[in-house]
Structure 1
Amino acid sequence: MLQGAIRTDRTVLLSLLRSCVGFVEDKRSGEAIHSRIFKLGFSSDRFLQTGLLDFYSKCGCLAAAQQIFDEMSARDVVAHNAMIAAFGVCGCVDDARNLFDGMTVRSSASWNTMISVYCRRGDFEAARELFDRNPVKDVVSWNAIIDGYCKVGKMEMAYELFNRMGSARNSVTWNTVISGYLHCREFGRAISMFRMMQEENVKPTEITMVSLLSACAHLGALGMGRWIHAYIKNHNLKMDVVLGNALVDMYFKCGSADMAIDAFRRLPVKNVYCWNSVIVGLGMHGYGEQAIEAFHEMEKGNFFKPDGITFVGLLSGCSHSGLVDEGKKYFQEMHHVYGVEPKIEHYGCMVDLLCRSGLLKEALDLIEAMLIPPNCVVWGSLLRACRIYRDTELSEQVTKRLLELDPADGGNYVFLSNIYAASSSWIDVENCRRIMIERGVQKIPGCSSIELNNMVHEFVAGDTSHPQFEEINVFLVEIDRELRKLGYRPDVDSVLHDIEEEEKEEAIKYHSERIAIAFGLMNSTGKGPIRIVKNLRVCYDCHEASKLIAKLFQLK
């Protein structure tokens, strides 16, 4: 347009300038518009100067913004606000405050901008002091300070201000707090906030739905996720690529691959993130061949160029499906054919692929030949394989490497203790415990959750706090008795205590996932699947027991 014969007045130029924020290409376009403004003789136009100042401030071009601000013959409140924002984006907080303090007239946007500058730096004491002094608080002022608290996980402070707002809250306020709970991994609270939102008749937006779908994905709350999907359709919310991708991701993470694929096929617009969600999701569910088919469909249609995440999904699918040759092929092609440099996650997938196929020596060779230092995830994949294939010597070597990399991770000590416990080396087990205590290292407790009637119930190992504990306990004993009739014998190698075999079997029976499964069986109807979400990897014994329980109760 700038090069054509179309007339470019200041209104058109200002409109174009406002659209040029966010990407490198748009920054270049904005600079071209600036050049055009100069050539057309509009350099002294106050509205265009303010537009240029706003553009450069949002792009983080402090020198250009400062030059325009200094050259302005008349600087109004809007110009001052844009310059304060420019200082804030570039981390010049003192300069921003000096300019703010020097203003003779301030608007509510002036206060909000300065508060946001402090929040960006993490100076919440100064932000709160300014907020409390603000004589013209509006909903944007409240949202700015609440957003600042949410971004650093200070949810108690954020919720206190949220409550003080009362009826002044808008959908942005609600979305900010819901996103804050997501950021803090308090997924249940995020969903509770949505229920409060409904009770107060506040209309949720597409942003609300994206946050809620993310919460459902982390909790494995399929029922709630399906309800949200229905709500989106019934209230005609716009299914853009962000919301569509969140929906596909939720279904995969809640264990419903069929629904995820159906939701993906129905998306009106797809981008590379949507395709990646499908490839990663199929891989995660062990549908390696389907993941490869989706990859080729994406490639043949010339939809989007595969990126690093695409290959994580592809390699993960090969790993979970035992497609060793295919995995090796795509690992080579990702760099030589597609120009994607392998990162630590790609190496992790390849090590996992080799380990799952029992190729421990090949996995070790790959780790030692890596072009980047292996991390705990890579070594951890090899360690788990060592334990499965009873390679005690290599597992001890790998565990010690893990402890060197991350001495604060309690899981590494547990792995080493497992190795010693499996060989009845109880003195070494006690030494591991002693070192953990001396270093202040704590093991993350296993926690399993299950959704029932749109409510999420959580259990930890040995949990006796649930109102139905007595019934659950009786049912667990009954399940154990029936499993033994099918030939089940507990694998107690993961029990890190020098106790009698019967006591070990009793301890393993009360792992969190077993309690969650028993609760689900007691309280659900029909033969549908029972979905359990756990924060840690399921132990070998519980994995085997779960398969037999599914067979016993004819579950998916």
Structure 2
Amino acid sequence: MLLLNSFTTRTRPYYYHHYLLSSLRHCSSTYSRYTSILQSCISRKAIDPGKQLHARLLLSGLGFDAILATKLVNLYSVCNHLRDAYNLFDRIPQRNVFLWNVLIRGFAWEGPHEMALSLYYRMVEAGLQPDNFTFPFVLKACSALSALEVGREIHEHVVRSRWDSDVFVGAGLIDMYAKCGCVDDARQVFDRITERDVVLWNAMIAAYSQNGHPSDALSLCHDMAREGVAPTVATLVTVVSASADVAALPRGREIHGYSWRRGFEAQDKVKTALIDMYAKSGWLKIARTLFEQLAERRLVSWNAMIAGYAMHGHANEAFALFDRMKQEAVVVPDHITFVGVLSACSHGGLMDQGWKFFNSMQGDYSLKPLPQHYTCMIDLLGHSGRLDEAYKLIGEMTMTPDSGVWGSLLNACKIHRNVELGEVALEKLIELEPDNAGNYVILSNIYAQVGKWEGTAKVRKMMTERGLKKSIACSWIEVKNKVHAFVVGDLSHPRSEEVYDELERLEGLMKEAGYEAETMPVFHDVEDDEKRNMVRSHSERLAIAFGLISTPPGSRLLVTKNLRVCEDCHVVIKLISKIVGREIVVRDVNRYHHFKNGLCSCGDYW
């Protein structure tokens, strides 16, 4: 009989199926022959011939042999026939650790994840000792369930079993703590393991990146390089994504060059991460060039490019790319795709297109809108002043509105000074996120806009009683690979005197152009002169002034702010871009603003 392994993967299933049966009929039913054929079924995920072989083994009396049955359980697991795997598992009289691991792995990968945990505890109760394969599988189930307390208990089992120095177990623990939001616990696990491989480094870098610590992820990547550990595709994808999150373009470009020097230029996953990074950093032309160079454009690549255009206010480019994706018919739009195009509509105030895409989700693609899609539509309606329609749409949602939905309505109420609906939105937001001070501040500002200072005082009192403090506005700019941060009225920077001198110089030039400070963004019951002084020292202006005195004339500035750019600063930055002849990009909490020649890419709609 020809060896089973001589068959190629191109063999049609029918002939492969027929081959297995005929080989069993004409060969001696030796034990090794059965194990060899079963192993081939596992490697090929050939479930139908595997089931027929299972039936033959039952007839021959070998159906519950420990080794053969274990291979059958493995076959059913890798083919996602977990019910069959579990039924066979329960009828095997002698179960070793490998058999338990096979089934735990199946449920940890495919779910229900609770079954993986249940099997783990049954295994322990049976007196078997979990090994360095068991723990990563069961920790994966904890990660999927965000089961922190169970994860901590299993961590104790790991320590007692002395597997806490194993890199695979360590990576599983780091991932579990990261998925549960406990990045400090993940770092403690990482620090306790002295012999670290690239898997462990990648796990910790990803933990930082996933939990909003992009700077730490980048710093750890540098530590990894100093230790002489060679990066993998996963490493580069994670650190590039971290660079995008922190808008640290110089570091991201450095990683780009490094990946090319190390021979990763052909890896589409790395290119896709770079597309996302350049798009988020405002370099859309570079992102598009990389996109066009992809050997295979997967859905994630299309989504990254569409989202990039959307966040920078290039709605037409986003729509054109969406149409091209449909025409090529290689991939089908998903929920993330529609978040991208709806965001483009929202940022551009494109009402008709917004409804068209929103209705197309269900009508053309059978995609049920998620809260993120409703958030885009509420934002679009709210910005356009159609607050009653926005509120009605919230009432028509098929799921419970989340904080994003109510937050969009509250922001719209601020734009259009709608106190009554703003109070409703805040009431809902307090139920969903009672400790988010920003929501209280927005309603306080709405009261201030219409001169209801008693309402402002009432909200501020609520915040004091609940121990909540307003977020401090902060802007930062990176110059020569160093981040410089500024807060409103900041005098702590070593070059503060030069910064304020530059602001004074610019203000004189702006006055000549007819500029008058808009004090509406200062929601305090104080004199206009004091309001003007407060607006002049907003953090984004300080960051821009520092960038102007610290970089060559004509170079582009990128400033990031943790809150929304105020109306007066928006007017001022437009004027500055014209006066100094520079492109100034400001990334605030809502979107990107590209200021150039006295205009902004948002068209004053944000």
Corresponding residue for residue 307 of structure 2: 280
Q: Distance in 1 between matches of 2:372 and 2:82?
A: 37
Against the structure 1 CA distance between its residues 308 and 70, is the aligned structure 2 distance closer, same or farther, given a 3 Å change threshold? Answer: closer
Secondary structure class of the residue paired with 2:560: strand
Equivalent residue for 2:557?
530
1:180, CA displacement in angstroms?
Answer: 1.0
SS at match of 2:193: helix
Which letter maps to 1:533? T
Give distance in 2, aligned partners of 1:386 and 1:67: 58
Q: Distance in 1 between matches of 2:360 and 2:241?
A: 32
Within 1, Cα distance between the matches of 2:382 and 2:162?
A: 64
Residue deviations 1:346-390 (CA, integer Å, cap 9, x gap):
3333343344445556555555555556554445445544544xx
**Is 1:546 paired with 2:573?**
yes
Q: Quick check: 2:41–2:50 contact (8 Å CA) kept in 1?
A: no
1:397 aligns with 2:420: yes
Q: Tell me whether 1:335 sits opposite 2:362 in the alignment.
A: yes
- Displaced runs of 4+ in structure 1, greater than 6 A? 58-62, 114-120
**CA shift for structure 1 position 294:** 1.0
Name which of 19, 39, 45 aligns with 1:14.
39
Are 1:346 and 2:379 an aligned pair? no
Deviation by residue 1:467-491 (Cα, 9 ceiling, x = unmatched): 4444434433433333333322222
The correspondence of residues 206-355 of structure 1 with structure 2, limited to 5 A, is 206-237=233-264, 239-355=266-382
Determine which of 160, 172, 182 is the counterpart of 2:188. 160
State the aligned residue count: 542
Cα deviation for residue 319 of structure 1 reads: 3.2
- Which residue, 56, 67, 71 being the options, matches 2:87? 67
Q: Distance in 1 between matches of 2:16 and 2:400?
A: 57
Tell whether the 8 Å contact from 2:541 to 2:569 is kept in structure 1 after alignment: yes
Q: Which runs of 5+ in 1 are unaligned?
A: 21-28
1:148-204: per-residue Cα shift (whole Å, max 9, x none)? 3333333333323323323x1011111111111112211111111011111112111
Tell me what 1:493 maps to: 520
Residues of 2 paired with 1:115 and 1:386: CA distance?
A: 45
Question: Deviation at 1:271?
Answer: 1.5
* SS of equivalent to 2:230: coil
- C-alpha spacing 1:424/1:294, structure 2 compared with 1 (3 Å): same
Q: Deviations along 1:489-529, whole A, 9 cap, x unmatched?
A: 22222223222212212222333322322232232224222
Asked if 1:77 is matched to 2:97, the reply is yes
Q: Give the drift of 1:465.
A: 4.1
Q: Which runs of 5+ in 2 are unaligned?
A: 1-11, 21-33, 584-606
> What does residue 96 of structure 1 align with?
120
Pick aligned residue for 1:35 from 44, 47, 51 = 51
In 2, Cα distance between equivalents of 1:365 and 1:486: 44
Going from structure 1 to structure 2, the CA distance change for 1:100 and 1:365 (only over 3 Å counts) comes to closer
Name the CA distance, whole Å, in 1 between partners of 2:366 and 2:103.
Answer: 41
1:427-471 alpha-carbon deviations (Å, 9 max, x no partner)? 322122112222333333333332333333333334444444444
In structure 2, distance between residues paired with 1:157 and 1:382: 37
CA distance in 2, matches of 1:206, 1:111: 25
For 1:213 and 1:233, locate their aligned partners in 2 and report how far apart those are by CA, in whole Å.
13
Q: Which residue does the alignment assign to 1:24?
A: none
Give the whole-Å Cα distance in 1 for the aligned partners of 2:398 and 2:159: 53
- Matches of 2:104 and 2:314, distance apart in 1: 52
Q: From the superposition, tell whether residues 370 and 87 of structure 1 become closer, same or farther in structure 2 (CA, over 3 Å).
A: closer
Whichever residue aligns with residue 181 of structure 2, its letter is G
Contact 2:306 2:321 in 1 (8 A): yes
Equivalent position amino acid for 1:4 in 2: Y
Note closer, same or farther for the CA distance 1:340–1:63 as it changes in structure 2 (3 Å cut): closer
Q: Is the 8 A contact 2:167 2:199 kept in 1?
A: no
Within 2, Cα distance between the matches of 1:79 and 1:172? 25
**Secondary structure of the equivalent of 2:520?**
coil
Structure 1: how far apart are the matches of 2:508 and 2:402?
42
Bigger shift: 251-260 or 78-87?
78-87
Deviation of 1:256 after TM superposition, in Å, equals 1.3
Secondary structure at the aligned position of 1:459 is classed as: strand
How many Å separate the matches in 1 of 2:183 and 2:409?
Answer: 39
Per-residue deviation, residues 396-455 of structure 1 (Å, max 9, x unmatched): 022111111112232232222222222333232212211222233333333333233333
2:357 and 2:189 map into 1 onto residues whose CA distance is 51
Segment drifting more, 415-424 vs 5-14: 5-14
Deviations along 1:269-296, one digit per CA (max 9) or x if unpaired, are 1112211222222122222112221111
**Distance in 2, Cα, partners of 1:259 & 1:320:** 22
Aligned to 2:468: 441
Tell me which residue corresponds to 1:49.
Answer: 69
**Aligned match for 1:198, one of 208, 225, 228:** 225
C-alpha separation in 2, matches of 1:312 and 1:270: 19
Distance 2:344 2:157 in 1: 52
Is the Cα–Cα contact under 8 Å of residues 198 and 230 in structure 2 kept in the other structure?
Answer: yes
1:109 lines up with 2:121 in the alignment? no
Letter in 1 for 2:337: T
TM-fit CA distance, 1:548: 1.7
2:197 match = 170
Once the two structures are overlaid, the 10-residue window that deviates more, 32-41 or 254-263, is 32-41
Tell whether the 8 Å contact from 1:115 to 1:130 is kept in structure 2 after alignment: no
Distance in 1, matches of 2:130 and 2:401, equals 54
Give the drift of 1:212: 1.0
One-letter amino acid matched to 1:141: V
Distance 1:375 1:519 in 2: 39
Whichever residue aligns with residue 35 of structure 1, its letter is K
CA RMSD of aligned residues (A): 3.2
Deviates more, 1:540-549 or 1:235-244: 235-244
For the Cα contact (< 8 Å) 2:311–2:347, is it kept in 1? yes
Residue of structure 2 equivalent to 1:130: 157
Partner of 2:600: none
C-alpha displacement of 1:211: 1.1
Change (3 A) 1:405 1:64: same
Structure 1 vs Structure 2: percent identity of aligned residues?
A: 35
1:308 alignment partner AA: H
- The one-letter amino acid paired with 1:534 is K
User: Which residue of 150, 162, 173 maps to 2:178?
Assistant: 150
Q: How does 1:391-430 map to 2 (within 5 A)?
A: 391-392=416-417, 395-407=418-430, 408=434, 409-430=436-457
What is the TM-score normalised by the length of structure 2? 0.80
